[in-house]
């Protein structure tokens, strides 16, 4: 699955594409491999406080709200991963939200 990522600033708009290379449902959580500017492994699951995403190769993780809320997810993920990778993961999760929710 191919998805689009957008980084808007006051002066410019940067667009790039990403691909969901693999998507595995383990029952208790999902494993998602994203290929874009970098290759990112995401472990996605649910807790009593909502969704969470862990990116072990980045040593990062955070809670997320509704996966379709790309703005909120981007805000949370860019804090733990950096701007481009955080936007990429948020865009990927929004693109597959209907398959997970």
* Under 8 Å between Cβ of 46 and 52: yes
Which residues lie below 8 Å from residue 37, measured CB to CB, with a gap of 6+? 16, 84, 85, 88
- pTM reported for the whole predicted model: 0.93
How far is residue 86 CA from its own chain's centroid?
7
Q: How confident is the model at residue 101 (pLDDT cuts 50, 70, 90)?
A: low
Distance (Å, rounded) from C-alpha 77 to C-alpha 86?
5
CA-CA distance, 95 to 93, in Å (whole number)? 5
What distance in Å separates the CA atoms of residue 50 and residue 83, rounded to the nearest whole number? 23
User: Domain segments of the chain: what residues?
Assistant: 2-100
pLDDT confidence of residue 9: 86
pLDDT, tens digit, 9 for 90 and up, residues 46-97: 999 889 999 999 999 999 989 999 999 999 999 999 999 999 999 999 999 9
């Amino acid at each position: 699955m191919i998805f689009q990522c957008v980084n808007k600033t006051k002066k410019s708009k940067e667009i790039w594409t990403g691909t969901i290379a693999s998507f595995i449902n383990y029952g208790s959580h999902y494993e998602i491999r994203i290929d874009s500017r970098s290759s990112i492994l995401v472990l996605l699951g649910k807790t009593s406080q909502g969704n969470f995403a862990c990116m072990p190769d980045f040593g990062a993780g955070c809670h997320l709200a509704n996966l379709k809320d790309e703005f909120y997810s981007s805000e949370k993920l860019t804090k733990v991963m950096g701007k481009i990778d955080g936007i990429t993961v948020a865009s990927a999760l929004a693109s597959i939200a209907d398959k997970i929710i």
